[in-house]
Structure 1
Amino acid sequence: MNQKKATIKEIKNQLSKEETLSEEYLAHLRQDPRKGVQQALKSWDLKQAKKKALVEQFIRMQEYEKKARQNGYTTIAGIDEVGRGPLAGPVVSAAVILPETTQLIGLNDSKQLSLKERIYWAEQIKEQAVALAVSVVSASDIDRLNIYEATRVSMKTAVEDLEIKPDYLLIDAMTIDSPIPQERLIKGDAKSLSIAAASIIAKVTRDKLMEEYAVTYPHYGFERNAGYGTKDHLDGLKQFGATPIHRQSFRPVKDVLTQ
């Protein structure tokens, strides 16, 4: 391309196609007085900065896995749960073992992602994972055990259901009854790639289950609120009462049942 004669359209096309450009070419563009060129260059710079930040985050979120490998462990599972707070539905846990060579750049805590992004990343995780497993503990078991113990049971079951046995566990904010060495990480889904992957698998799985429950129990908005105590859910609870998937030990479900 003749840089001096290139049109703004040609330069924009060049910037949109090239991931890396020579310093000489970029310096030439930075001296170009045309406003359109400078705007295109600014957009390119922002895009590159975002990519750099994602790579840095990707590296940072593997620090705990890297440390475990340095300590002699080879098969590290991340474990997380979804659904401790809702009034209805199960608690769901996932355990994910990622390969050391994983390329999930951009993966983040499920709470930081949109529905579309979570579905995309769930597919990427399934493709790259060495092994993954999901455990679902019902509302009735939550009532029987209490939510804390039910969560621990679901996490333990997910680990035990992995086709490949891990030799080290990274767990979000919990510990489980297991002889496998484990590390409890507060806000682990934002610190560990393996835990973040587990959080996404658990979230996508549970949301799908709640969408299915919404068909059976249409008056509570489960497809929108995932069982949390939103206004439409509470209105449905008052008008139609509790369903078999409601947690009877949770208020206000408990209050409705005692009326």
Structure 2
Amino acid sequence: MPAPSSVTPASVTPDWTFEREHWRRGHFRVAGVDEAGRGAWAGPVTVAAVILPGLATEYPFRDSKQLSAAQREAYAAEVRRVAVAWAVEHAWPDEIDRLNILGATHAAAGRALARLRPAPQALVTDYLRLRTELPLTAPPRADALSYSVAAASLLAKTERDALMLELDAQHPGYGFAAHKGYGAPAHRAALERLGVSAAHRRSFAPIRRQLQEDASPRLLDEQD
């Protein structure tokens, strides 16, 4: 299967295509699963799971990347209002460093799915091939194509953004409130100026390099 494209036309709207395939097989509680923060250098990776009512209703939910912050917050509130069940879980940097980012994402997804009541009967994910006994559909760009996954993307993005605002207050100077822990030029400059914080993922290559650079002067001093 080809790698998912990073670009989705704004005109694309979600529908129930993937969910209907599961409904036809008698699996009516279909959970959409999506994550936020997988590529960031700092903060958690956040995974949401959402079961929407199986009524083929049209919703305003969209891939969170297509929306403004205000729209995301409004639609996330609507997701929580209409969902049959929803849950959000986080994998923090220590778990990411221990398991690697994919393993930590899978772990957080497993915790979110375990919290859903009623339990899901099938899953649709955004290209995330979870290890599960449940029927699973994992197409690329599902956050833009599936209502359930779009709903999950809204919860994951808004909850993670809120946590990054908290981390910004705890670790001032890094700009977490602005770039949300991703590798923006301002983030790289802050790392060079301030060093690595407790919120950073030490297993990620840019952070490993910064740790090595920070340690180099001390090693030279010890040799003198």
Same fold (TM over 0.5): yes
Q: Is the 8 A contact 2:41 2:181 kept in 1?
A: yes
| Cα distance in structure 2, aligned partners of 1:94 and 1:73 | 20
Partner Cα distance (1:220, 1:104) in 2: 40
List structure 1 runs of 4+ shifted beyond 4 angstroms: none
Q: Deviations along 1:70-99, whole A, 9 cap, x unmatched? A: 111111100011111111001000000000
Q: Are 2:183 and 1:226 equivalent residues in the alignment? A: no
Deviates more, 1:124-133 or 1:227-236: 227-236
Matches within 5 A, 1:178-197: 178-197=132-151
Figure out how many residues of one structure are paired with residues of the other and give that number.
Answer: 203
2:13·2:145 contact (CA, 8 Å) conserved in 1? no
TM-score by length of structure 1 reads 0.75
Pair 155,89 (structure 1): closer, same or farther in 2 beyond 3 Å:
same
The aligned counterpart of 2:207 is: 253
The TM-score, its normalising length taken from structure 2, stands at 0.87
Higher helix share: 1
Aligned counterpart in structure 2 of residue 123 of structure 1, from 66, 77, 82? 77
The answer (yes or no) to whether the contact 1:140–1:245 under 8 Å persists in 2 is no
Task: Find the counterpart in structure 2 of residue 47 from structure 1.
Answer: none
Secondary structure, aligned partner of 1:169:
strand
Cross-structure match for 1:39 = none
For the pair 1:166 / 2:120, whether they are aligned, the reply is: yes
Query: Cα deviations across residues 159-214 of structure 1 (Å, max 9, x unaligned)?
Result: 11112101101111012122212111111101110000001100000000000000
- Which residue identity does 1:247 align to in structure 2? R
Give 5+ residue unaligned stretches, structure 2. 1-10, 214-224
Which aligned pairs between 1:43-192 and structure 2 lie closer than 5 A?
57=13, 61-101=15-55, 103-192=57-146
SS of match in other structure, 1:144: helix
CA contact (8 A) 2:48 2:88 kept: yes
Number of the residue aligned with 1:199: 153
Deviation at 1:67, TM superposition (A): 2.0
Distance (whole Å) between structure 2 residues aligned to residue 104 and residue 238 of structure 1: 48
Structure 1: runs of 5 or more not aligned: 1-53
By relative contact order (CA 8 Å, sep 6+), the higher-ranking structure is 2
Query: Cα deviations across residues 25-58 of structure 1 (Å, max 9, x unaligned)?
Result: xxxxxxxxxxxxxxxxxxxxxxxxxxxxx9x945
Superposition CA RMSD, Å: 1.5
Whether 1:238 and 2:198 are equivalent positions in the alignment is no
Q: Which amino acid is 2:170 matched to?
A: T
Q: Secondary structure at the match of 1:219?
A: coil
Give me the whole-angstrom Cα distance separating, in 1, the residues matched to 2:21 and 2:57.
18
